[in-house]
Structure 1
Amino acid sequence: MAQDTTRLSLLFLGDIMQHDSQLQSAYEANTGRYNYEPCFRYAKKYFMDADLTIGNLELTLGGKPYKGYPEFSAPDALAVELKNAGVDVLVTANNHSLDRRRKGLERTIRVLDSLQIMHTGTFRDTVERMNDYPLMISRNGISLALLNYTYGTNGIPVTKPNVVNLIDTVIIRKDLARAGELKPDLVIVFLHWGNEYQSQPSKQQKHLAEFCFRYGANLVIGAHPHVLQHMELRNDKQLVAFSLGNFISGQRDRFRDGAAMVKIELNKVYYSDTTAGTYINSAGYVLHWVYRTPASRRNFYVLPVPDFENDTTGFIYDEPSKQAFKTFITDARALLQARSNKIHEISMPAADTVLRYRIRWTIPALEKDLTAGLEPADFYFGIEVTTDAAGNQQMTAGSFRKKRDAETYLERIRKRFPDAQLQELVNRKF
């Protein structure tokens, strides 16, 4: 990897839902607990392969009684498993944000905060929104601004002082201007929009996507229709995915039982120490289907197509499910291959083991200048600073996929900090 280029991979998920059938499946009577590990078992490696995995949490973590449609409240165990599987960010503005009213909105925020899952779209009050919006994320020396809005909340009014971001072009334009002032490398708008169960985006979706691009958005990601809609890579700065479909749900009808994860590879190219540009290097999608086993205890699994289309183990063992899986693949390819220009289907399974490398070193408490001896290029990969109990500064930099690149960076850092070490992360991100 050239020293003047840093890279970041993003993976976007569609609607993460929780119907009654999923609740019943996850419940373990012998322990009285809910177990969602099977749901994400086969998708986990795709989450881990991406530097950032971002999904739409279309439910509340509102506490008991747990319930599916029409007013969702899922066990905290669902969020715990999303975290364990490698989901980094969740957007929370959707038509189910207020299913448990104020208590549900605020409890959802508390649970996500306790799990250290980044989130945006709903807020306890206007002060929280003012301080935390847009959500700013920095990874691998690349900064992102994430915005999130919904068309509505199923007619349930927002209880003051809570805030749910609603689609309002006046507000969105102001928020995009605010995002621009923060000078991120890329601006993402995640929208809950469109018409349910329609495989083509509406005129309103198209107009709103154009509006977002006009005022500074780079990526526009859509949710809510619960079926796939096409994607467009406009240029190396702009991409729209109108609807990713149901990432996981209890819906079993044709077109609703599968979806796509879209993976975007970003390059940040440094032309000088003060000038850089960030571009979409590539974009692709991974089709996946939700399998509900026909056994007495119906388990739910998200099955990535690259891993299971040619499976010979008989994992999908009943004939109706085999046919439904094939139908989903045929339908999805017919839609996306016809309309999703420059965005390819990813057919290669993700690796079971993902390695990353980081560089760590310590600056003693008495040393005030944390940047002494570092060159401008040393900051290209991002440097995080934490303080230990003794007041020493623990410095961590980079997230390299190739050990050789990490070792090259390590040599530079050791010229100033001889104690710098290479840290290997196995199926971990940060």
Structure 2
Amino acid sequence: MIENAERKNRFTALLITAFIAVGCLIAFPLLFSGCSNGVAPSENPVPQQPEQPIDLNILCVGDVMVHRSQLASQYDSSTKKYDYTNNYRYVKDYISQADLALCNVETTFAGAPYSGYPDFCAPDELADALKDAGFDVAITSNNHMMDRGGYGLKRTVEVLRNKGFLTAGSRLDPQEKRYAMIEVKGVKVAVVPYTYETPVSGTGTGINGRVISSENAELINSFSYQTLDQDLEQIKRTCDEARTDGAEIVILYYHWGEEYQTSANRWQRYIAQQSADHMNVDMIFASHPHVLQEMEYLKSQKDGKEIPVFFSMGNFISNQRIETLDNRYTEEGILAKVHLKYLKSQGKITDIKMSAIPTWVEKYTTGSKPIYEIIPLDDNLQKNETLKASGHLSRAEAALEDANGLLKKD
């Protein structure tokens, strides 16, 4: 009897154990499915947010020039120093608010003595003012880059870099890249500038009518209209190299065209279309004509990509004006703007838009001293204090009308 009772108890215990085991097998997946580290899932799991594209606002301006009268106007005899910061006080907010701001520095920083046209050399304080205004990248590829020879070429790059600029268009050593790379909001952006050459006899390189040494020619980014297709291949190689080195956005800048012509010529259009079709660039800024030309989108015949092109951004600041050249268009420029959305995971631009804020160079006299200021032709035009004091509002309004026509804005 005792033996039977023990067998019965053992059977009951085994039965209970079996029930518990089956229950665990059923309950365990229900309790812990989709859990990590034994933590029960939330009743309302948070859905994954789709990736948000990165907004980038890129700004570029045309020719920053310093003529002889601009040397005198910015010199303070009491401190024996130059100060150009007032030139940019009305446009500073636009520049500094951009995610990336570029300017074409069409002068050299070769040290005293300073000079205007035809051999430009400005005080180093101009670089301070441009940095204070908010510019990030200084473009040095233009027809005045060799005005003070190889020494001026190199010292210009050194001064700009010492002031905190990235430089593009000329270099100190042939081993340096022909482009500048900068990271903006986690996106790598390359700036690739090139300037036109002038014809010379033989096989040398000419810049602004000067034959330059082969050593200096290696330090500059330039192309010749006489060997254009061959040189466009070199520009393509530079753009390709930037992509290989990680560039996600490529900005191309050209110093090209005919001075004082308010429409792009056939060479500008040919170069722009070739760049759009073959160089995998995302936007093109340009200057040299010293007047505004049209802005438009070009479609790449290779992949259909829409590429904003500013054929000439005009003068950002200079002493070229109606009083000196009998040409009011030389007083006009733009803040050229490109706004884009970049999807990092896919490595592509999902949206791109171009726009421009026209500008006008004000020049008025206080005592015997001329004052230069860049006036944005924006919604605050009627309230601008300088225009109220100078009485030049009507000239600024005429400049706005000119710019809207030349840019072919709707």
Report the TM-score, using the length of structure 1 for normalisation: 0.74
**Secondary structure at 1:97's aligned position in 2?**
coil
CA distance in 1, matches of 2:157, 2:350: 32
CA distance in 2, matches of 1:124, 1:143: 23
- 1:39-66, Cα deviation, whole Å (9 max, x unpaired): 0111110111101110111110111100
Residue aligning to 1:166:
222
- 1:261-289, Cα deviation, whole Å (9 max, x unpaired): 1111121124xxx5332244332111111
From 355, 358, 362, the equivalent of 1:291 is 362
The structure-2 alpha-carbon separation of the partners of 1:2 and 1:156, relative to structure 1 and needing over 3 Å to count, comes to farther
Residue aligning to 1:157:
211
Please say if 1:108 is aligned against 2:156.
yes
CA distance in 1, matches of 2:132, 2:253: 23
From 130, 139, 150, the equivalent of 1:82 is 130
CA distance in 2, matches of 1:108, 1:312: 34
CA distance in 1, matches of 2:287, 2:238: 20
Residue aligning to 1:328:
399
Residue aligning to 1:176:
239
Residue aligning to 2:226:
none
From 312, 316, 326, the equivalent of 1:243 is 312
- Return the offset for 1:318: 3.8
Please say if 1:207 is aligned against 2:270.
yes
From 230, 249, 257, the equivalent of 2:331 is 257
Q: For 1:187-206, what aligned pairs fall within 5 Å after superposition?
A: 187-206=250-269
Give unpaired runs (5+ residues) of structure 2: 1-48, 198-206, 224-230, 300-304, 323-327
- Larger helix proportion, structure 1 or 2? 2
Contact 2:276 2:298 in 1 (8 A): no
CA distance in 2, matches of 1:316, 1:226: 27
In structure 1, give the amino acid aligned to 2:208: N
Contact 1:6 1:269 in 2 (8 A): yes
Contact 2:308 2:353 in 1 (8 A): no
CA distance in 2, matches of 1:6, 1:177: 23
CA distance in 2, matches of 1:189, 1:110: 23
Residue aligning to 1:379:
none
CA distance in 1, matches of 2:259, 2:387: 31
The structure-2 alpha-carbon separation of the partners of 1:190 and 1:279, relative to structure 1 and needing over 3 Å to count, comes to farther
CA distance in 2, matches of 1:335, 1:149: 24
In structure 2, give the amino acid aligned to 1:47: I
From 124, 127, 145, the equivalent of 2:190 is 145
Contact 1:59 1:73 in 2 (8 A): yes
In structure 1, give the amino acid aligned to 2:181: M
In structure 2, give the amino acid aligned to 1:208: I
In structure 1, give the amino acid aligned to 2:185: N
- Return the offset for 1:133: 2.6
The structure-2 alpha-carbon separation of the partners of 1:225 and 1:160, relative to structure 1 and needing over 3 Å to count, comes to same
Contact 2:377 2:396 in 1 (8 A): no
Q: CA RMSD in A?
A: 1.9
Please say if 1:218 is aligned against 2:255.
no
Give unpaired runs (5+ residues) of structure 1: 342-430
- Return the offset for 1:218: 1.6
Contact 2:258 2:289 in 1 (8 A): yes
Please say if 1:51 is aligned against 2:99.
yes
